[in-house]
């Protein structure tokens, strides 16, 4: 399982929110670039970024900071927040971003979604941010008009390979992820699932890894010191190695 350390960006600064509340933003580091470099040094395979200003405005706002970071570090970055048009997506993808994350646009413009999935295979993910089983959009400020289960099926049908699922009630609370939700969705779809929100400890990472998820996003726990990134990465890799051994054993029986 891949660990995605998160950098949420507001007004050019790395911040964390609580349950998506922009009024409860707190700065967690001095520099976006230096934070990304520290994640790379710790052994991260990917970095997860969100343009919070962009999510609220409906278009990229902090793209210059993001693209500067892409040019600086040697590991891929995925970015979400305010990507509503093909031009927005191409701005990032043509600028070297490893994967673009669509949210609102994926639900509102299926033609655009399918076009990007076709043109950039493997580089389009969809973020489904849910509260009480319903998808939220526009920086979690509006109801998306669809149930989470239905949205998952729509995205899979459109050819999306990676889904990032956030339980808004868990985000930034350090109370543990929504294990039951991720287990439910794992049975519902063949898409690669990334759990987001609530990761608070190494035990959470180990439990998510045992569920055979593709990835998990960690943010506040890293900045608060509750979770050590190197240990989290090792735990995710260990689970993957154990699975590979099991599969190999099954094939030789």
Q: Give 68-103 pLDDT, tens digit per residue.
A: 999 999 999 999 999 999 999 999 999 999 999 998
- Mean of the per-residue pLDDT values of the chain: 88
pLDDT in tens, 122-150: 999 999 988 888 898 765 567 677 899 99
Cβ contacts of residue 121 below 8 Å, gap of 6+?
A: none
Respond yes or no: is residue 129 known to be catalytic: yes
Determine which of 190-194, 218-222, 229-233, 244-248 has the lowest per-residue pLDDT on average. Answer: 244-248
Catalytic one of 51, 53, 88, 129: 129
190: its two tokens: 């063949």
Domain containing 191 equals: 2-252
Can you tell me the distance from the alpha carbon of 37 to that of 55, in angstroms, rounded to the nearest whole number? 24
Can you tell me the distance from the alpha carbon of 72 to that of 214, in angstroms, rounded to the nearest whole number? 26
The full length of the chain comes to: 253
pLDDT of residue 240: 56
Cβ contacts of residue 13 below 8 Å, gap of 6+?
A: 27, 32
Can you tell me the distance from the alpha carbon of 128 to that of 64, in angstroms, rounded to the nearest whole number? 25
Respond yes or no: is residue 8 known to be catalytic: yes
Whichever domain contains 54, its CATH number is 3.20.20.70
Total-model pTM: 0.88
Total domains in the fold of the chain: 1
Show the DSSP H helices in the chain as ranges: 32-41, 52-57, 63-72, 86-93, 104-108, 110-119, 148-157, 179-188, 202-210, 220-224, 229-252
Can you tell me the distance from the alpha carbon of 149 to that of 134, in angstroms, rounded to the nearest whole number? 9
Cβ contacts of residue 115 below 8 Å, gap of 6+?
A: 86
């Amino acid at each position: 399982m891949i660990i995605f350390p998160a950098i949420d960006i507001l007004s050019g600064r790395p911040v964390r929110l609580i349950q998506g509340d922009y009024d409860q933003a707190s700065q967690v580091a001095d520099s976006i670039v230096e934070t990304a470099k520290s994640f790379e040094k710790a052994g991260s395979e990917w970095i997860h970024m969100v343009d919070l200003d962009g999510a609220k405005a409906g278009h990229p706002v902090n793209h210059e900071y993001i693209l500067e970071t892409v040019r600086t570090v040697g590991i891929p970055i995925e970015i979400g927040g305010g990507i509503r048009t093909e031009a927005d997506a191409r701005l990032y993808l043509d600028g070297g971003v490893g994967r673009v994350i669509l949210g609102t646009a994926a639900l509102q413009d299926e033609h655009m979604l399918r076009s990007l999935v076709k043109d950039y295979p493997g580089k389009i993910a969809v973020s489904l941010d849910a509260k009480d089983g319903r998808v939220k959009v526009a920086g979690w400020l509006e109801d998306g008009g669809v149930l989470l289960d239905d949205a998952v099926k729509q995205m899979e049908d459109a050819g999306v390979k990676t889904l990032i699922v956030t339980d808004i009630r868990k985000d930034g609370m350090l109370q543990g992820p929504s294990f039951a939700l991720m287990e439910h969705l794992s049975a519902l779809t063949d898409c690669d699932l990334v759990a987001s929100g609530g990761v608070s400890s190494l035990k959470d990472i180990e439990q998510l890894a045992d569920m055979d998820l593709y990835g998990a996003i960690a943010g506040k726990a890293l900045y608060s010191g509750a979770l050590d990134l190197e240990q989290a990465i090792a735990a995710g890799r260990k689970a993957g190695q154990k699975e590979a051994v099991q599969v190999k054993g099954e094939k030789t029986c």
